[in-house]
A and B are shown apart, each in its own frame.
Chain A
Amino acid sequence: MQPEVLSGSLDGVRVVEWGSFISAPFCGKVLAELGADVIKIEPPVYGDESRRHGPFPQHVPDGERSGLFLFTNLNKRGITLDPGSATGRELLESLLDTADVFLENQPAALTQSHCLDYESLRSLFPRLIVTSITPYGRSGPYRDYKGYDLTANAIGGMSFGAGHPHREPLTTPLYQASYLAGVGAAFASVAALLGRDIKGPGGQGQLVDVSEGQVMSVLLSGYHLPTYIYRGVAGWRSGNRMRLGLFPNCVLPCKNGYVCIDAPQLEQYQRFLALMGDQEWVNEPRYRDRRAMSEDYPEEAEALITPWFMEHTKEEILAICLENRIPCAPVRTFGEVLEDVHLNSREFFKDVEHPQAGNLRYPGAAYRFSESPCRYVRSAPALGQHNQEILCGELGLDPSRLPAMARAGVI
Chain B
Amino acid sequence: MPDALHGPLTPYRIVDLGSAWAGPMAAQLLADMGAQVIKVESRQRLDGLRLGRPMVGEDAAGGDRGLWPELQPLFHSINRNKLGVTLNLRTGEGIDLARRLIARSDVVMNNFSPGVLSRLGLDYPELKRLRPDIILVSMPSVGDSGPLRDILAYAPIIQALSGLMSVVGYDESEPLVGELQSPWSDAVASIYAGLAAMAALRHRNRTGRGQMVEVAQLEATASMLGEAFLSNQMNGKEPAPEGNHDAEFAPHNNYPCAGDDKWVAIAVKTEEEWLGFCLALENPAWTQDQRFADRAARLANTDDLDRYVSRWTRGLPAQEITQKLQDNGVAAMPVMNIEDQFLDPHLQQRDAYAQVEHPHIGAEWVYGMPWLLSGTPGSVRTPAPVLGEHNEYVFHQLLGVPLDELERLQEQQVIY
Contacts and interface: CB of A to CB of B under 8 A. Distances in A.
Contact of B369 (A167, A218, A342): A218
A34 B199 contact: yes
A173 B265 contact: no
B contact residues, range = 35 or more
A331 B165 contact: yes
B223 A240 contact: no
B376 interface: yes
A322 to B, nearest CB: 6
A217 B341 contact: yes
A204 B376 CA distance: 10
B389 to A, nearest CB: 21
A405 interface: no
A316 interface: no
A215 to B, nearest CB: 5
Interface string A296-309: 00000000000000
Contact of A362 (B198, B219, B229, B266): B229
A328 B156 CA distance: 9
Contacts of B220: 366-367
B3 to A, nearest CB: 10
Contacts of B269: 148
A313 to B, nearest CB: 15
A234 B230 contact: no
Contacts of A197: 202, 205
Contacts of B223: 363-366
B222 interface: yes
Interface in B259-304: 263-267, 269, 273
Which interface class (under 10, 10 to 19, 20 to 34, 35 or more) fits A? 35 or more
Nearest to A314: B160
Interface stretch (A39-47, A87-95, A368-376, A389-397): A368-376
A361 interface: yes
A401 B79 CA distance: 57
Nearest to B335: A154
A221 B371 CA distance: 15
A261 to B, nearest CB: 8
Interface in B131-171: 142-143, 145-154, 156-157, 159-170
B199 to A, nearest CB: 4
A32 interface: no
Contacts of B360: none
A218 B346 contact: no
A362 B234 contact: no
B244 interface: yes
Interface stretch (B58-66, B114-122, B326-334, B391-399): B326-334
6 contacts: A157-B336, A213-B347, A251-B165, A322-B150, A334-B229, A345-B146
Given A142-B333, A342-B149, 4 more contacts: A161-B180, A192-B375, A205-B375, A332-B162
